[in-house]
Amino acid sequence: MKTTILIHCPDQAGIINAVTYFIHSKNGNIIYLDQHVDKEAGVFFMRLESDFDNPDFSIDDFKNKFGKSLAEKYQMKWSVYSSGVKPKMALFVSKYNHCLYDLLSRFNSGELDVEIPFIISNHKDLQYIAEQFNIPFHYIPVTKETKTDAENQQLHLLKKYSIDCIVLARYMQIVTSKIIDSYPNKIINIHHSFLPAFAGAKPYHAAFQRGVKIIGATCHYVTEELDAGPIIEQDVTTVSHSHSIKDFIAKGRDLEKIVLSRGVKLHLQRKTMVYNNKTVIFS
Amino acid sequence: MKTTILIHCPDQAGIINAVTYFIHSKNGNIIYLDQHVDKEAGVFFMRLESDFDNPDFSIDDFKNKFGKSLAEKYQMKWSVYSSGVKPKMALFVSKYNHCLYDLLSRFNSGELDVEIPFIISNHKDLQYIAEQFNIPFHYIPVTKETKTDAENQQLHLLKKYSIDCIVLARYMQIVTSKIIDSYPNKIINIHHSFLPAFAGAKPYHAAFQRGVKIIGATCHYVTEELDAGPIIEQDVTTVSHSHSIKDFIAKGRDLEKIVLSRGVKLHLQRKTMVYNNKTVIFS
Amino acid sequence: MKTTILIHCPDQAGIINAVTYFIHSKNGNIIYLDQHVDKEAGVFFMRLESDFDNPDFSIDDFKNKFGKSLAEKYQMKWSVYSSGVKPKMALFVSKYNHCLYDLLSRFNSGELDVEIPFIISNHKDLQYIAEQFNIPFHYIPVTKETKTDAENQQLHLLKKYSIDCIVLARYMQIVTSKIIDSYPNKIINIHHSFLPAFAGAKPYHAAFQRGVKIIGATCHYVTEELDAGPIIEQDVTTVSHSHSIKDFIAKGRDLEKIVLSRGVKLHLQRKTMVYNNKTVIFS
Amino acid sequence: MKTTILIHCPDQAGIINAVTYFIHSKNGNIIYLDQHVDKEAGVFFMRLESDFDNPDFSIDDFKNKFGKSLAEKYQMKWSVYSSGVKPKMALFVSKYNHCLYDLLSRFNSGELDVEIPFIISNHKDLQYIAEQFNIPFHYIPVTKETKTDAENQQLHLLKKYSIDCIVLARYMQIVTSKIIDSYPNKIINIHHSFLPAFAGAKPYHAAFQRGVKIIGATCHYVTEELDAGPIIEQDVTTVSHSHSIKDFIAKGRDLEKIVLSRGVKLHLQRKTMVYNNKTVIFS
């Protein structure tokens, strides 16, 4: 059985040795180890993939012993994932289809190791894509007055299907703390600018107005403050005076879908850790 | 004789034809023509390179006739440059040497078609480089109290040597309107971030704090508002959680020098036009 | 009516003036002009977009007069396209779905101004996508023995539907001169390497073997010589020792689909010209 | 004292644990650990930085024990470097100055932790730069007839100054096995193409001829086969039909100097390992 362990704890000497010794003593073979120390914050981060071949290996027993013999001693925040358990991911969309198409075509090709129990949208425009890909589509309109009701409906679905993480694939609504608090560092958004430049609405218009020579897209975890959560992935493309706002938007679509998909993959592969509103991304 | 003509004027039908007809009628051969229309602003931009082979061609006569027969009719802002006249460029530096080294090694190699009559600095740290390259070095210290005096000294030198344009090669002082007003769209600065993100002081520290995955540099014309002038050129490079602020600064140095040199070359080749605080960059 | 004119001819003085004068004399307004001179070859290239507002404008009359008064004089190869006439594009695929999904999702979003009368494949694997997008799918298997028959069937379909251009969206068969000769510079292929490196089969394996730090994809017109046709568009992405061949392939998929779609858009927008096995790409 | 350890050996379970345990037992603190397994080749690679604070720590004793208790058991190829020992680097140049300027300006700024005892050139063109930077310059002309003599002179200097590594900063001569054999994986070259495309002479001309849309530069270790050694670093930049060969060369210069400097830094920081003609680059 393959397991992935993510750890962070106050930095001190001997942690790597202690963890690798523990894995070794349980007859595990470390097939990947990466580590990082945030020297300013004094925090140690680690990601390990290990193989446990012996037939009587028990993940619960392993967790139990890891917790007692290591995690307490080093004050670790940690999590262990065993291969074979697929996370459940919900998609939130509005009217733009490029990110949805990109995620679903990857999903259909087996590129994303995940279950997608449903798609939620505040508009019916993309229902046809959900049908193309045979994924349940829930139309939950949102107005100022119905916002609370809508979020309750969303939460109900999220709980009902035991959703692990949410992807806002150009969902044009602000998600409130009601949902964020239940999914800390588990809601992934794509913002159509090179954050922190041009946070908020209409970033391509603002970029055009400023006369920048490069535009970007940013995939980040959603926090209460708009467009200010931990950044997972960014990419950019060049523009010139000859490009109109419409051209910015067209070039941006390609960036958005690729950057969002990269961010989603990193999250699903347990390669992201969050600390101090920043991410550690293991490659 | 080769000439470069830059034009902008209110957009209307027939301008390209009128200009090309005029060149043709003066026995000129158009070897390059690029044009751009800013549809929002309704402004037409054009850059032409032409060869005039006939021995009795007079640039003054050409300018005179161009002004009367074309520029007035179409309300053009225009300028004509003839090859063989090298612009004069002053360099302002402080303590960082990478941009200065990069510009001077290009200058020494003949890559920049310019004269560099002198370098001004508010510190003596880089005097040795000026000496390495045999360029006069003027040490003009700047404090709060001496700022006005210092700028007067700078202006005196700029006038004395008929300087055409100024490059702030990591000059760590704010240039005031006293100088800016004499050199509109002729002072080139390098800012060590992808503007408009992280304007102002310590952009690498701010970028590190925000946890971005990409850092950048921006070459722009200096205007009264700090780091808000027309952008000439930008470029970026990727960073990760594993990079410290010191790493950001080291990676940034390479960006800064390349982006500044590109911007300076575009300016010297008369490939930049400014309108509405944005640039048109002809390639 | 908007028209796009593409011209190439031996370089000489006065062409730009002659063409712009002609447009002007037909009451056209030039809204875009770009030109290029290949100095080595002595060839002049031009792309013009013009608006003809007068109601009695006739494209046939225009073509006729353009041919007589200009094209002959300057020995031009030229073509005129009027807006409103959609080109017809056939897609050839095999088993990989990423390029097909990307093209069809753009097509469905209205991003590609084209008709797609059918998809041809030598395998049935992607029939479900054709059905998802309601596009006729023709399964034409290809073996050594049936190659000629298969190409005849393909040609029959291409003629029957008056196809203008063909996109090989990871079609894993070599197209022969039988088809190439009917579609010179009108068959667009995506090759999964930065050509000319790693032409031929299994480029990701070859790139891995060589230990490159960057992989790429190339969109090009198909010519008789394999992977040696005029390059329309290329892009690259970084890799490291930590990436397996499988990782190369996964990263490459994103490159391939984006680069192919960019190439297809450039072709459909009449922004490509071919000369001496190279392209001029107007932006 | 800070030490850097580089290891590669046949892959097997327990190596990470064994090494970290060893460091730990010598009162070392691991401040960086990165590891890689080449699954195809079955080889394990590791890079460790450790701090040894105890005043009686002896690097010789450490090496001795590491060799006996670990290296033999796991059949390791390994090396240990202690901080404070600067490597000695020789520069070979011909006529192009951009790479030399870039390396020397970084050296002068303290960016490269190295000694540069001398520069060798087969031309006198760049002697002035050596003088600018106060570095001994040895003019050793090379002709077909004098090649062997010249290499003997070069070897003599290399031995005399105990040179650790050689940088060919656009040295336009082929270095033969006479020198390569004494400096395996210690001669760093910059090739002005995106290898393996355009190996050999005049790569920009070949790239122009082929009509590529991207050009590159490659930093690699020199082996007997020309331009076929292990690649350390590559980068690229876009070009278009509008660029002449002269433009390719100018754009390429910026690539070459940045890519070479990056490669040299990685080598000096002991972040490169070579296996099967490929590199593992630890970041």
**What does the pLDDT average to over D19-32?**
91
Which of A51, A113, A227, A235 is labelled catalytic? A227
Name the maximum alpha-carbon separation found in chain B.
65
Q: Quick one: pLDDT at residue A85?
A: 87
Three-state SS across A125-174? Answer: CCHHHHHHCCCCEEECCCCCCCHHHHHHHHHHHHHHCCCCEEEECCCCCC
Contact assignment for B97 to D111 by CB distance below 8 Å: no
DSSP string, C205-244: HHHHHHT-SEEEEEEEE--SSTT-SPEEEEEEEE--TT--
| H/E segment holding residue B235 | strand B231-238
Of A231, A236, A244, the CB nearest to B211: A231
List CB contacts (< 8 A) between B101 and chain D. 101, 105, 108
In 3D space, the residue among C214, C268, B250 whose CA is nearest the CA of residue D236 turns out to be: C214
Contact assignment for B31 to C24 by CB distance below 8 Å: no
Of D17, D30, D35, the CB nearest to A24: D17
Pairing state of beta strands C272-275 and C231-238? unpaired
* Position with higher pLDDT, C58 vs D186: D186
Q: Quick one: pLDDT at residue B85?
A: 87
Closest chain B CA to residue A214: B234
Q: Shortest Cα distance from C21 to chain B (angstroms)?
A: 6
**What does the pLDDT average to over D19-46?**
92
Peptide bond between residue A136 and the one before it cis (omega within 30 degrees of 0): no
**What does the pLDDT average to over A63-76?**
94
Q: Quick one: pLDDT at residue D35?
A: 93
CA–CA gap between residue D64 and residue D71 (Å, rounded): 10
Residues of B marked as catalytic: 227
* DSSP letter, residue A112: S
Q: Shortest Cα distance from C187 to chain B (angstroms)?
A: 30
Residue type, A37: V
Of A233, A240, A242, the CB nearest to B213: A233
Contact assignment for C33 to B20 by CB distance below 8 Å: no
**What does the pLDDT average to over D128-157?**
96
Q: Quick one: pLDDT at residue B84?
A: 79
List CB contacts (< 8 A) between A98 and chain C. 105, 109
DSSP string, D63-112: HHHHIIIIIHHHT-EEEEEETT---BEEEEE-S--HHHHHHHHHHHTT-S
CA–CA gap between residue B168 and residue D112 (Å, rounded): 26
Contact assignment for A105 to C108 by CB distance below 8 Å: no
Residue A40 has pLDDT above 90, yes or no: no
Contact assignment for C241 to D280 by CB distance below 8 Å: yes
Closest chain C CA to residue A111: C250
Pairing state of beta strands D187-191 and D165-168? parallel
List CB contacts (< 8 A) between C24 and chain B. 13-14, 17
Contact assignment for A254 to C254 by CB distance below 8 Å: no
Fold of B89-281: Rossmann fold (3.40.50)
Contact assignment for D33 to A16 by CB distance below 8 Å: yes
Closest chain D CA to residue A26: D14
Q: Shortest Cα distance from D5 to chain C (angstroms)?
A: 19
Residue D177 has pLDDT above 90, yes or no: yes
pLDDT in tens, A226-262: 999 999 999 999 999 999 999 999 999 999 999 999 9
Residues of chain A within CATH 3.30.70.260 domain(s) are 2-82
pLDDT in tens, C255-276: 999 999 999 999 999 999 999 9
Beta-carbon contacts of D249 under 8 Å, excluding residues fewer than 6 positions away, are: D204
Peptide bond between residue D55 and the one before it cis (omega within 30 degrees of 0): no
Let me know how long chain C is. 283
Q: Left if phi > 0, otherwise alpha if psi is -120 to 50, otherwise beta: which for C70?
A: alpha
Contact assignment for B234 to A242 by CB distance below 8 Å: no
Q: Output the tens digit of pLDDT for each of chain C's 283 residues.
A: 899 999 999 999 889 999 999 998 998 989 899 999 998 899 999 999 999 988 888 999 999 999 999 999 999 999 999 887 899 999 999 999 999 999 999 999 999 999 999 999 999 999 999 999 999 999 999 999 999 999 999 999 999 999 999 999 999 999 999 999 999 999 999 999 999 999 999 999 999 999 999 999 999 999 999 999 999 999 999 999 999 999 999 999 999 999 999 999 999 999 999 999 999 999 8
Distances (CA, A) of A70 to A22, A273, A274, D93: 8, 19, 21, 56
Q: Quick one: pLDDT at residue D174?
A: 94
ipTM: 0.95
Residue D283 has pLDDT above 90, yes or no: no
Of A13, A23, A33, the CB nearest to D29: A13
Chains B, D: CB contacts within 8 A come to 35
Contact assignment for C105 to A109 by CB distance below 8 Å: no
Contact assignment for D105 to B109 by CB distance below 8 Å: no
Q: Phi then psi for C98, rounded to 5 degrees?
A: -65, -40
Contact assignment for C17 to B14 by CB distance below 8 Å: no
Q: At what angle do helices C245-268 and C98-108 cross, to 10 degrees?
A: 30
Q: Work out the pLDDT band at D226, boundaries 50, 70, 90.
A: very high
Q: Quick one: pLDDT at residue D108?
A: 92
| H/E segment holding residue B257 | helix B245-268
Name the maximum alpha-carbon separation found in chain A.
65
In 3D space, the residue among C178, C272, C265, C256 whose CA is nearest the CA of residue C219 turns out to be: C256
Chains near C, with 3+ CB pairs < 8 A?
A, B, D
Pairing state of beta strands C187-191 and C165-168? parallel
> Dihedral of CA B222/B227/B230/B234: which sign?
positive
Q: Under CATH, to which class is A2-82 assigned?
A: alpha beta
The pTM score is 0.95
List CB contacts (< 8 A) between C198 and chain D. 196
Q: How far is CA B52 from the centre of its chain?
A: 27
* DSSP letter, residue A230: P
Q: What number of CA atoms fall less than 13 Å from residue A142's CA on the CB side?
A: 21
User: Is residue B62 within 8 Å of residue B39, measured between CB atoms?
Assistant: no
Radius of gyration of the CA atoms of chain A, in A: 21
Burial of D162: CB neighbours in 10 Å, binned 0-12, 13-18, 19+: exposed
In 3D space, the residue among D189, D215, D193 whose CA is nearest the CA of residue D99 turns out to be: D189
C-alpha angle with apex C252: C249 to C257, nearest 5 degrees?
A: 125
List CB contacts (< 8 A) between B105 and chain D. 97-98, 101-102, 105
CA–CA gap between residue D250 and residue A215 (Å, rounded): 26
Closest chain C CA to residue D214: C234
Q: Shortest Cα distance from B53 to chain D (angstroms)?
A: 23
Q: Shortest Cα distance from C69 to chain A (angstroms)?
A: 32
* DSSP letter, residue B191: E
Strands (E), D112-213: 119-121, 137-139, 165-168, 187-191
Terminal C-alpha separation, chain B: 21
User: Is residue B257 within 8 Å of residue D261, measured between CB atoms?
Assistant: no
Residue D31 has pLDDT above 90, yes or no: no
Distances (CA, A) of C153 to A107, A168, C95, C135, D136: 34, 45, 20, 18, 73
List CB contacts (< 8 A) between B30 and chain C. 13, 16-17
Distances (CA, A) of B189 to B93, B221, B228, B234, B235: 11, 6, 11, 12, 14
Q: Output the tens digit of pLDDT for each of chain B's 283 residues.
A: 899 999 999 999 889 999 999 998 998 989 899 999 998 899 999 999 999 988 888 999 999 999 999 999 999 999 999 887 899 999 999 999 999 999 999 999 999 999 999 999 999 999 999 999 999 999 999 999 999 999 999 999 999 999 999 999 999 999 999 999 999 999 999 999 999 999 999 999 999 999 999 999 999 999 999 999 999 999 999 999 999 999 999 999 999 999 999 999 999 999 999 999 999 999 8
Contact assignment for D102 to B97 by CB distance below 8 Å: no
CA–CA gap between residue A220 and residue A279 (Å, rounded): 9
Q: Quick one: pLDDT at residue D88?
A: 98
Strand, helix or coil at C10? strand
Q: What number of CA atoms fall less than 13 Å from residue D256's CA on the CB side?
A: 24
Residue A84 has pLDDT above 90, yes or no: no
Contact assignment for B278 to A198 by CB distance below 8 Å: no
CA–CA gap between residue A240 and residue A221 (Å, rounded): 30
Q: Quick one: pLDDT at residue A1?
A: 85
CA–CA gap between residue A33 and residue C136 (Å, rounded): 49
* DSSP letter, residue A175: -
Of D97, D240, D254, the CB nearest to B258: D254
A64-97 burial code (b ≥16 CB/10 A, e <16): eebeeebbeebebebebbeeeeebebbbbbbebb
DSSP string, B152-179: HHHHHHHHHTT--EEEESS--S---HHH
B interface toward A at CB cutoff 8 Å? 36, 38-39, 194-198, 210-214, 216, 230-236, 240-242, 244, 277-281
Q: Shortest Cα distance from B197 to chain C (angstroms)?
A: 25
Q: Shortest Cα distance from D238 to chain A (angstroms)?
A: 11
Structure tokens at D191: 């090739």
Contact assignment for C195 to D211 by CB distance below 8 Å: no
List CB contacts (< 8 A) between C278 and chain D. 210-211, 241
Percent share of chain A, pLDDT over 70: 100
Strand, helix or coil at C271? coil
A interface toward B at CB cutoff 8 Å? 36, 38-39, 194-198, 210-214, 216, 230-236, 240-242, 244, 277-281
C45-83 burial code (b ≥16 CB/10 A, e <16): bbbbbbbbeeeebeeeebbeebeeebbeebebebebbee
DSSP string, B55-78: TT--HHHHHHHHIIIIIHHHT-EE
Chains near D, with 3+ CB pairs < 8 A?
A, B, C
